Amino acid sequence: MGLTHFDENGKAVMVDVTDKKETAREAVAEGKILVNRDVFQAVKAGTVGKGDVLAVAATAGIAGAKRTSDLIPMCHILPLTNCKVDFRMNEKECAIFCTCTVKVTGKTGVEMEALTGVSAALLTIYDMCKALDKKMEITDIRLLKKTGGKSGDIWNDFDRCAGLVGENLSAENRSAGNAEAEDVENVCRKKEKRTRRWKAAVVTMSDKGFAGEREDKSGPLICEMIADQGYDVVRTELLPDEQKEIEKCLCTLCDDEKVDIVFTTGGTGFSLRDCTPEATMAVAHRNVPGIAEAMRAASAEVTPRAMLSRVVSAIRNHTLIVNLPGSPKAVKENLEAVLPVVEHGLEILTGQAGECGR
């Protein structure tokens, strides 16, 4: 996928989010500062000459997150709804870990705000302790997770977050914004659940594509979009609009190859040869109408012709099958509408999560 902060001429631009929907978004970032033993003990005891280092640093972190758009040129100005800064001290490493959790209901994410909050907090610790240690090192600033938006939930590798669950400081004495000490530990506990990559297959239905008379653009687009969300595309197929052949392919993918999800594209319109929905329902064990309804609703905001789409979604054994339209534009609209939620459905289907709760 292209870099969104550059136009077709290579000029840096702010991403236009005018047409995006407002959704609840959250980001968590972390970083650490390595200090000598004297600084570590002084910060822990609150005896640094300049004052309570962590209290000041927490305030600086919140202020930094709020001022991100003033520091990073292409960041949007966002009305943050919450910002929390937490600290953990790891005596073995002589390290002070910082996490910043930022929330907003808006049209773009708050990853940069969380990263800026961590940076500001750690820089403040450095500033307040530099008279005691000339060799402090700020390191490992990174995004732990982000949720919300069209790209859905993204969780990074949490192996390195184990240090955050070390020696806890009182949330009342060592954090700002009513931060709760359990937040980071809860994030870490979800590592096992979030490291699985879903096995996906992409099947294109097109008589002309199968005959070599038309280039398949929708199939590769699906592969690109889902790969960006952590799916492993283990199989791609290009088939003619023949119902029995489609049914056979779907059964093989679900029963023999046991993929987690099959995305199909094409064959969902009114043409007499369009039979993908019929083939899907012929092999399905359970219907999942909500996914198809959500895709039609999303497309209907762009064009009233969305009502002519006959896409369906269904389950066969432990595999989810999702029909997508044939045009690349419609594929993009439909996937952006449902990908953030489909992963939770897969977690339930494969026994990795409980039923949905509000």
Residues designated as active site: 127
Judge whether 124 and 57 are in contact, CB under 8 Å: yes
Judge whether 202 and 236 are in contact, CB under 8 Å: yes
At 126, phi and psi to the nearest 5? -60, -50
Q: ∠300-301-302 over CA atoms, to 5°? A: 85
Query: Do β-strands 95-106 and 82-90 pair in parallel, antiparallel, or remain unpaired?
Result: antiparallel
Residue given tokens 């046991």 in the structure block: 258
* Distant-in-sequence, close-in-space partners of 217: CB < 8 Å, separation ≥ 6: 328
The arrangement of strands across the sheet holding 95-106 comes to: 154-155, 137-147, 23-34, 95-106, 82-90, 167-168
Count of CA atoms in the C-beta half-sphere (13 A) of 245: 15
Q: Helical H runs in the chain? A: 37-45, 53-66, 68-71, 111-129, 171-174, 182-189, 191-194, 207-210, 218-227, 243-251, 276-283, 289-300, 328-349
Which of 209, 222, 310, 228 is closest to 261 using CA atoms?
Answer: 222
